[in-house]
Amino acid sequence: MKKTGSLAMLIVLPILFLCASAPSFKIARLKYNGGGDWYANRTALQNLVNFCNLNLSTNMDPEEGIADVGSATLFQYPFVYVTGHGNILFSAAEAENLRKYLIGGGFLHIDDNYGLDQYVRPQMKKVFPELSFVELPASHPIYHQKYDFQGGLPKVHEHDGKRAQGFALIYKGRIVCFYTYECDLGNGWEDYGTYEGDSEATRQKALKMGANLIQFALSQ
């Protein structure tokens, strides 16, 4: 991506977010190689977008985009979501493409859908070898946008019973990637009743935290 395109992304994103009458834009799901189920949580993004349009006055297209990690189409989306349970693999060219996207103003949300952690960490190290994930404290602004989460990242699914943690990759003072671990926000965004035993109250927490991510990503 050319430098001018990167600068344009940085300038346009806050305008798109703050102006409800601006042309609609999409957020996207990241398609990757390696055999992992990148397509998991099929109804998640549509529900999150609808929630944000209703409660944040955004004007996002409810139909999600599909962004191949190595493709120029990645640069069309200000916010990209990646999830799955298994293997994820970036080639050198894909890692470089993702790096350019993130440095240029893009935002990546990694959502561990249980089992992704051991695969995604080394792949993101290919993207930013000089960076490491750091856990964000509960006081971080990402947890205090429209919705206030005093305890930090909410717990949606139990998984291994560990506490929910939010990690970030920070490049030159800007969060370029937010990683939700032992949380499973995407499951919480799916249609109510998709998972037996899930409560609507937990689903609302997940959607509100997702809205905070959108608000933070498009205005930081």
Q: What pLDDT score was predicted for residue 208?
A: 98
pTM of the model: 0.88
Q: How far apart are CA 56 and CA 215, in angstroms?
A: 8
Q: What pLDDT score was predicted for residue 192?
A: 78
Q: What are the sequence ranges of the domains in the chain?
A: 3-219
Task: Give the pLDDT confidence of 171-185 residue by residue, as tens digits.
Answer: 999 999 999 999 989
Task: Give the pLDDT confidence of 112-171 residue by residue, as tens digits.
Answer: 998 999 999 999 999 999 999 999 999 999 999 999 999 999 998 777 778 999 999 999
What is the residue-wise DSSP string for 104-158? TT-EEEEEE-SS-HHHHHHHHHHH-TT---EEPPTTSGGGBSSSB-TTSSPP---
Homologous superfamily (CATH) for 3-219? Domain of unknown function DUF4159 (3.40.50.12140)
